[in-house]
Structure formats: structure tokens, C-alpha cells
Chains A and B, each alone.
Chain A
Amino acid sequence: MNVNGWIQLAFFSIMLLALTKPVGLYLVQVLDVNGRTWLDPALKPVERLIYRFSGIDPAKEQDWKGYAISVLIFSLITLLLTYLILRLQGVLPLNPQGLSGVTGDLAFNTAASFTTNTNWQNYGGESTMSYLSQMVGLAFHNFISSAVGIAVAAALVRGIARDKAATLGNFWTDLTRTCLYLLLPLCLVYSLFLVSQGMIQNFKPYQTVKVLDPYTAQVAKKDAGGQEVKDDQGHPVMEDVKVETQTIPQGPVASQVAIKMLGTNGGGFFNANASHPFENPTPLSNFIQILSIFLIPTGLTYYLGRMVGHQKHGWSVWSAMFLLFLVGVLVCWYAEAHGNPRLAALGIEQTSGNLEGKEVRFGIFNSALFATVTTDASCGAVNSMHDSFTPLGGLVPLFNIQLGEVVFGGVGAGLFGMLVFVVLAIFLAGLMVGRTPEYLGKKIESFDIQVAALAILVPIVFLLGFTGLAAASQWGLKGLNNAGPHGFSEMLYAYTSTIGNNGSAFAGLSGNTPWYNLTLGLATLIGRFLLIVPVLALAGSLVRKKTVPQSAGSFPVSGPTFTFLLIGTVVIVGALTFFPALSLGPIVEHFLMINSHKLF
């Protein structure tokens, strides 16, 4: 934990704080159908054209049911569209490498994953996806899945802010305006910045170059049919191959990385994600990529305060998120900076910390910061391999996702997830003092708590259920490359990441099997839509309530008491739910690392 890291952390925090208000104010305009932005002269005619072409009446608002049905139908259609593109990529254009169509199970998994803002990848981008698939099938979803998340957050905030109303806004206008005024312009500028840092953006075929230092590698021998040759024990037969050339992938990377980070999507153009030099060329691009994950989520907390007419409430929610972020990054940084005593015992230098699986250009602190931020939010991009973190270092990203990714969180999803916890925290406070709970003048009643509970608990039931099923079945165990608690952590992380719509992976799990493609694909859908539906039902319930004036007995939703109550609620729900599972994975692995004589 060096001075360099502390300075970067301080600078990151200051930048985050400084950007919150301007982004929030801009969001207020974007998420108001009559809002004005400085882009209006150029984009207003385009917006009108989209409405006219699509038959949308921007003045016509929807109740929660209409809003939810629009979200669901739009998501289903775009999921099927991506499925078809992936299946047919072999005969579609922009495929200079001649890559064949993606298999059905992998196409389902990928389409579900990108529709839900998860971007779990059971494939290597450069070896599986054509440029058309990357741009139209996947990057398209990076934009619209982010916009859907922001739209749902805006609907919930309107539900809280409006007094005895029936409607929550119009999903189609929210979607259009978010893409047009927020995501597209930001990504255009951001892509140019990334290109300036050395990130590639082209449609060239992959380049084959001679390596400067040819070497001999052992690779699995293949027969005439391309199948691996096995010996009597079933192990692959290896042969020496002299490596004299290397294939360097190309492609439209910068445009995809911009929205991948801003939209908290996280799906890498390359398999190595943000540790690949073409996907993260410089320390500056690394810093800006981390900051951009939190950019819209931090602005949304200000948007919340402005919309409900209680700016201190927005800042209190921001403070709760920031404190949770700070604890996470410090624990992860501490664990990684102290290295692995097992490796030290083998004589491997650990004074610089645990560098296994880390890009040395970025080092310990930037790996810990990236890992914490990408899992606080539902981003999932990585610049280091979480599987290679120390047990406690790896526990932080895992637990971050299990908290519901409400620490700034995914774009939109983080805010509406945190607001569900706010409702729960106020309910608990009401129980403690024996008063009917009120949130900003709205009485929290039985139905509100029940849908809040459904939003939190239903995805968790599937998360733990799928993990248990994988751990107890040959289908699940077949994908493991590690035994013992680390193998369990890999399975737990996979389902946590997909239910949480994060998308990052504890590598080491072979996910491209029909079992994992099916269950992880279903997990992404469950984690997204079985959360959005009750959240919109909550918004629909709140919007109809009369806002009563605040009184001396009203629970204050700003200040340290509220902030710590909110943190406590998030942590206690997460800890009570996941402690047993974490005990079987990273916690027992930590004790094995520091004490046991037996290494799994």
C-alpha cells in the first residue's frame, strides 16, 4: 500500500465527487421529455423523426404495467435479433476472418447476457465474433441495455417524486432520449479519447507477423479430423511446435470499449478484456476507464436528490455508496499488497504483492481499484484476473456483487437497487420506533415491502440454487479446473456474476458447455427481469400515494443516521444471505492459505 496508490485513490475520489453534480444536472434534462440540452439544435430533429417513424407519442405516459410490458417486449425482441445475428454471422458481412456461426447454446447465452447488461462471455471475442456481431449484435446491446436500466431508475424516482399520479413516464421516450442525448454523444467523445491513447479502431483482417524471438511450445497433438489425440490414460498427447509467427487481432475496439465502460456492460472486445494493450493502452486510459464506470451512476444520485426535492437525501445515498466502495477497495488493496505466503514459502518474491494474474503495467493498486469498481457497479470489465487474487482479495469483488451491486452500481440498476434497500431500511427503522414508515412523505405499506422483498430475495434464491445444483451435479463439476474451496468459489462467482448482471468471471471455469450456457444464460435473465418487474410495481404503488408533509416524527432520510442505517441494511442482508456460501469458498481458502499444511 504505497503513496502512489493513496494519491491515485484520493484523486479518483475527488474526481468522482466533482463529476456528480454536473452529470446529475444533465440527467435531469435528459430524463425529462421537455428537458433542454445544448445538443438540442442538432438532435431534437432526430428525436422527433424517431418518434414519428416509430409511432411514439412522447406526451403519452404509461402506468407501471405499461412501462414494464414495454421493457419486456423490447428486451425479448432485441434478444432474439442478437441470437439470429450470432447464428448467421458466417454468412453475414464484416467477417474478414471467415468465422463460422456461433453454436445455438452459446448464442442463447451471449444474447441473454448482453440483453441484460451482463456481458458474461463464454467465448473469446477475437476468436469467435465477427466485426458485425461485435458491433450490431453486442455493442448495440451495450447502448440499449444501459438505457433500459436508466429508464427504469428514472421511472422509480418519478414514482417517489410524484404526488397522487398514475403514470411513471414513457419508456420509449426515456430509451430514445437516454441513447440520443447521453450515451451516443459521450461515447463519441470517449472513443476519440481512447483512440488518442493508442486504442485501435479499424476493420482490417487480423495481422500475422514474425515474432522477434522464435520459441518452441508444447501443444496438444491433433489428428486429421482436428480432434485432440489422447494417450491410454486419457491425457492429451503433447508435441513440440516451433512458434515463428503471431496473429494480432484487429477491429473496431475503441467504439465498443467506450460504451462497455460508460454503460457498465463490461464485455471485452478481446478475451483478455482491459488487460489487453489494445483495449487499455496507457495508465491514463486505465484511470479514465475506471472512472467512467461510476460516471453515470454517481450522477444518478444527484438526479435522485433533485427530482425528489431533497438534495441532501441524494448526497446521503451517495455517501453510503462511497463508504461501501472505500471499504471494499481498501480490503482488496491490502490483501493483494500483502501477497501470498504460500508462494513466498516457495521462494517466489512477494514483497511487491500478489502479482499473479495482474498486468504489470497497472500493478497492485490499479488492479484492486479496477476489480472493486467493476463489481461495485455491474460492469464486469477486468484489467486483472480475479481468479488469481488472494482469497480475501477475491472475496471483495464476489461480495460486492452479492450486495446487489448497489455501490453506485450499474447504470440505473445501481440506483433502483439501492432505492429498494432504502425502502427496506426505512421499514426497519419504522419497526424499531413503532411508527408507520414514511419515505419522503409517502407511507410504506405492506405491498411495498412485499415487492421490495421479492426484488431482493427471488434472484438470490436462484443464485444459491443454481450454485448448489452445479456443485452437486456432474454437469457443473465437469467445467471446473480447480478442486476444493477455490473450485467452489469459481462456481459461486459464476452464478453471482450472472444473477447480478455483472459479467466478470473467476476464470478457471469452462463455461462453454450446454449446462453452463443454459443455466448462466437463464441466470442473467432472472437477475435482470425478476428484479425490474417488482421494482416497477413498487414505483407504481408509490406514485399513487399522497405525499404527506414531513413532521417531527418523520424518519430523516439524510444525515449520518440514515447513511449508516442504509449501509447496515445492505451489509446485513448480504452477509446473512451469503456468509455460509462464502465460508465454503474464499473464507476457508484464506485460512488454508495462512495456516494449513495442506494445499488444495
Chain B
Amino acid sequence: MDVVWIAIPLIFFAACLAYVGFLAKEGKIWKT
């Protein structure tokens, strides 16, 4: 089970890095 509990934070932080990449585009996030 350790693999699962280690994989969860790894996936979460990978998603956070993707979030950084998404916001780094610095255009409009949604149309206003």
C-alpha cells in the first residue's frame, strides 16, 4: 500500500506544477 500513499502526493504535486504552467500563460483564464 505504500506505493499508493506515495503516489497520491506525487500526482498532486504534478498537478500543481501543471497549474503553474497553466497560469504562466497569463492570458485571460476565462472570457470576461
* Contacts known (A446-B28, A447-B29, A450-B29); A83 close to B17, Cβ less than 8 A: no
B 21-32 binary contact with A (CB < 8 Å = 1; else 0): 001101111101
Given the known A-B contacts A450-B29, A533-B19, are A522 and B8 also in contact in the complex, defined by CB atoms under 8 Å?
yes
**Chain B neighbourhood of A478, CB < 8 A:** none
| Chain A residue at minimal CB-CB distance from B32 | A446
* A525 cross-chain contacts in B, Cβ below 8 A: 9, 12
Residues on the B chain within 8 Å of A72, using CB: 13, 16-17, 20
Establish whether residues B2 and A104, one from each chain, have CB atoms under 8 Å apart when the complex forms. Answer: yes
A2-10, A73-81, A325-333 - the one binding chain B = A73-81
Q: Are B29 and A454 in contact (CB under 8 A)?
A: yes
Contact indicator B4/A533 (Cβ below 8 Å): no
Which of B12, B17, B23 is A451 in contact with, Cβ under 8 Å? Answer: B23
Is B4 within 8 A of A447, CB to CB?
no
Q: How many residues of B contact A (CB 8 A)?
A: 22
- Give CA–CA (A73, B8) in the complex, Å: 15
Tell me the complex Cα distance, A525–B2, Å.
Answer: 18
Q: Which single member of B8, B16, B26, B28 contacts A541 (CB below 8 Å)?
A: B26
Q: A68 within 8 Å of B by Cβ?
A: yes
Name A's interface SS: helix
Chain B residue numbers with a CB within 8 Å of A515 are: none
Alpha-carbon gap, A446 to B31, bound state (A): 9
Report which of B6, B20, B27 forms a contact with A83, defined as CB distance below 8 A: B6
Set of chain B residues within 8 Å of A530, measured between Cβ atoms: 16, 19
Contact of A76 among B5, B9, B24, B30 (CB under 8 A): B9
Instruction: Give the residues in chain A near B9, CB-CB below 8 Å.
Output: 76, 79-80, 83, 108, 111-112, 525
Contacts of A521 in B (CB 8 A): 8
- Return the CB mask of A522-552 against B: 1 if under 8 Å, else 0: 1001000110011001001100000000000
Q: Closest CB-CB distance, A476 to chain B, in whole Å?
A: 19
Taking CB atoms, residues of chain B closer than 8 Å to A65 are 20, 24
Residues of B within 8 A of A518 (CB): 8
Chain A residues lying within 8 Å of B2, measured Cβ to Cβ, are 87, 104
Asked if A520 is at the interface (CB within 8 A of a chain B CB), the reply is: no
Q: Apart from A76-B13, A447-B29, list 4 A-B contacts with CB within 8 A.
A: A69-B17, A80-B9, A518-B8, A534-B23
6 shortest interchain CB distances as A-B pairs = A108-B5, A537-B23, A450-B29, A76-B13, A104-B5, A104-B1
